[in-house]
Structure 1
Amino acid sequence: MGGLRRLVLDVLKSHEPSSVFFAIKLSQLENVEGVNITLSEIDQETESVKITIVGTDMDYEVIRNVIEGLGGVVHSIDEVVAGKKIVEAVKTEQD
């Protein structure tokens, strides 16, 4: 089975709901096997978080809709992995 295997999203969210709640809601989606949320930046009203989601044949639109439904905004898609297996990025001389 192919499809989306991993997404890394830069998301802006308010302090509530918590990152724990976000992670639980996202982990309950069909084909999602795991969710990692890392705090990047925090201010008085919002948090910037990096959300890594791993699964098989995931649906980005469903994921984005859940994030937006919880009051978050996807600022950028920082990594996309698709296909039959996860291919890790490799450092090259130019890096």
Structure 2
Amino acid sequence: MPAPLRKVVLDVLKPIRGPSIIDVSREVAALPGIEGVNITVKEIDVETVTLTMTIEGSDIDYGSVEKKLEELGCIVHSIDQAVAGKKIVEQEEVEQGE
């Protein structure tokens, strides 16, 4: 059995006339295995809003997340980070020598 997906960061496109980011965050947070959702607006265009969505949980079912977002009229543009395993491991910044 694969290790549980604990955190995923998505680049998402949401229609301007679609649901609010509050509604999107609540709908996604209600899915099984999800403990929290953070949505930040990155850019607003004429017809779409570009969002960064961070999702954390004990066992995230990415397929369910993608399906819920599609039901809300959103499109996943890219998966920018995925963390799996027994705990969330944060990425460390490493300075390069000059």
User: Normalising to structure 1: TM-score of the pair?
Assistant: 0.94
Unaligned runs of 5+ in 1: none
Kindly name which structure, 1 or 2, has the bigger radius of gyration based on alpha carbons.
Answer: 2
Residue 5 of structure 1 is matched in structure 2 by: 6
How many equivalent residue pairs? 93
Identity in percent: 49
Residue 50 of structure 1 is matched in structure 2 by: 52
**Structure ranking higher in strand proportion:** 1
1:11-34 superposed Cα distances (whole Å, 9 cap, x missing partner): 001122111110000010001000
Residue 33 of structure 1 is matched in structure 2 by: 35
Aligned with 2:61 (options 59, 62, 82)? 59
Matches within 5 A, 1:67-82: 67-82=69-84
Aligned equivalents of 2:79, 2:40: Cα separation in 1: 15
Structure 1 stretches of 4+ moved >4 Å: none
What amino acid does structure 1 have at the position aligned with 2:34? Answer: V
